[in-house]
Structure 1
Amino acid sequence: MPRLNPAIHLTFLLILTCFVRLLASIFANDIIDVRNYQQVAEVIDRFGVSGLYRHTPDIYPYPPLWAGFEVAAYWLAQNNILSFSLAIRLPIIAADAGIVAVIWQWVHRHSGSSRQAMQAAMIYALNPVSIIVSCWHGQFDALPLFWAALAMICTAWQWQAIALSIGIALKSFPVLLVPAFLWHLQPLRRQVQFGLLALVPVLLLLAPFVVDDASAVVRELFGYRGHALLGIMVPVRTVYVPLVGERFPVETTRLLISLSAYGFLILYALTVWSMKRRSMSVPMQATLIVLLFYVVYAGIAPQYLLWVLPFMIMAARPGAVLVYSAVSTLALLGFYLYAVPDIFPFALTVSPRLAQVAYGLFGSLWWLTCGGLLVWFWRQR
């Protein structure tokens, strides 16, 4: 009996990826992030695109490109075609399916094995971290991740830069990966061309908003520091609160976030310079950069936990991926049980004390695991 073509296997997996996420999205509850998306669309509908940043305080800390998806979802909802909740998740679901295809292509190209490629792609397709972030939370980090991962399988540097630029135009964090691509290019002139092609389109996209209201853009986009919901602040709070008997000071948290940002930038510069001297694939470099961000930066939001996942899978370390996925799933569940219990599409009755313990325990375990994985990956050739 003839074996099925690998393309057929991949097609089935892509269909499964979309079906699982569509089902999860249909029954998802809308938390504040999804409601903010709709509010941004309403602002643009009322004031025009110039209302972005100026009339969206504290609800739009992203480059302008994502607003187009919000407006499209709002139009579909206003015309009774789809609910806003489902419409805004559809491009995120498509991006997750795209990441599955990119992982399959990368692993197949480097291993020559359709079986290994399918296993790696399936790890992402059925990964609870991806499903929770994309469908239950409704965050769109899968979109910039798709374009960053797509850049890694492009063979021409021009297409790599363009794909990475689109990712940066959706959410700014893929800009951290620019050096990982530069070190694979020679001579210096080509590196400069890559950097310009990756960054200048994003700057041009921002230019009209800067001209219109520079202070609003600086406040909302460049002044955003994330939220200390996971990462190093979890073990700090877990130790501080029982000892002192009160909440960790908000102003101190903000100060630590700012200090950690400078600390990360210093270590980031040293790390990317060190990686220039090592023979590492782009996904491996991306894995190290994101893990360093997790360990050092204090302003970690739950959706950030998705960032490293496709790169770690492409770096061909399935054991590490499974460990990271398990610990991240526990950290997400602990956080949502404690802070956003209505995110779950099913009823959960957990005492506040138990939810607090789960948040502190699993959040601390996640941060420690990221530190261990960072050391372990750095020692791999």
Structure 2
Amino acid sequence: MKKGPIITSQQKDAKNQMLMVTTNDMEYNIPLEWERCTTKIESFKKVSEFEKEVKEFFNSKQVKDDVLILQCRYTSKTKSLLEQVISILQVEHHLFYKVADNHCANKLIVLLIHTNRKSPFPLIFTRKWRLVYVDYLLSTKPISLQKDLKKPVAEVMSGDSKPNLTDCASRAFGKLHFPRSMNCLKEKKKLSKLFSKDESNKCGAILEQRLMSLLSEAMRYRSVEDILLELTPQEESKEMEMSFFERHQNILDTLLILAFVDVLLVVYQNGGFKVLTIIYFSFTKKKKQVNLRKNNQEYQQLFEMALSNSELVPMKTPTITVNQLLLVAIEPELYVVRARTKSLFPFSHCIHKWCQQQFSSNKELPSVEIAHRVTILEQVPIGNGKDSLKQWESICSEKANGIYAMDLIRK
């Protein structure tokens, strides 16, 4: 019987570590696949009964299950009992696996501890235990604290502790101040669809990649543990309203939101997530739909090509300080979007700026004919050398080129 991803992955390393799962979820919410091998610690009347159960699990051939889940609720009254339980489990685990014949047995002990804000569980970082936190037991998505706390922030975000991008994007959107001409509700709906799990979206994947790149640059090799240590002295005088795990997730969300703001500023200052609307005079509704779909695809390809290139569409690396993390919820700062509302070609001003930079850096260009200048410019690699403006020819229609020219005239 399948036991879920947390247990399955840990069983491979059962010889070295037992699994300690902490959660704020209710005791009756354990997954169905866990019920058969779960025993409540409070059901044992004596410590000797508990010891006997653990010994039988490890040594009896009659026990078919290779996983034993021991469930308990952590309170101030059960603290000493839990310490005793942990000690017994560590001894029995050591005695069983020190025998060479048992090295491949993969018998796993899981200690499932239910906590709450009033009685936070003291973290135990030892080699004998792999500690994970699960918000909702039925989802069984863990936070591996021993590893995640010490990993660089960007690396943690791309792993199991990945925040909800749709939620963070919406919260970042709320920090932007748009001109009155912008239909904010419509734009917010477009943004939320980019990270929808129901449909694959290349644009959403590119945005996520740019986000992680910005965070990696902003945080360098700093970990969540480093940030928590910096925040602690400034929070000593305040009553802690959040549990450790909520603070852990809140830090990840806040960092992502601050980086999201810089990404969205660049996008909305260059026209936003628009769709090219090219009007064809046609008497058939079907032909209009085909033409509109064709131009939408053209816009999307151009938008994605530009957005994925960090040299063509540069984004400012956010400066994230401890004070910002403390004040972001108390004093939300609004960022003004200086939108070029008439910009219709994807990132036309970014492309034009890049072209101007090439002209100013290449001394030979001013001395040659205009047609030859264009040919030279088309061959110049953008950024990593894989892309050049020549590759845009196969995508850009004459109408799109005209729209690009009109964007520059409006500027």
TM-score for both structures, normalised by structure 1 = 0.26
Between Structure 1 and Structure 2, the one with more helix by share is: 1
Between Structure 1 and Structure 2, the one with more strand by share is: 2
Structure showing greater radius of gyration is 2
More contact order relative to length (CA 8 Å, sep ≥ 6): 1
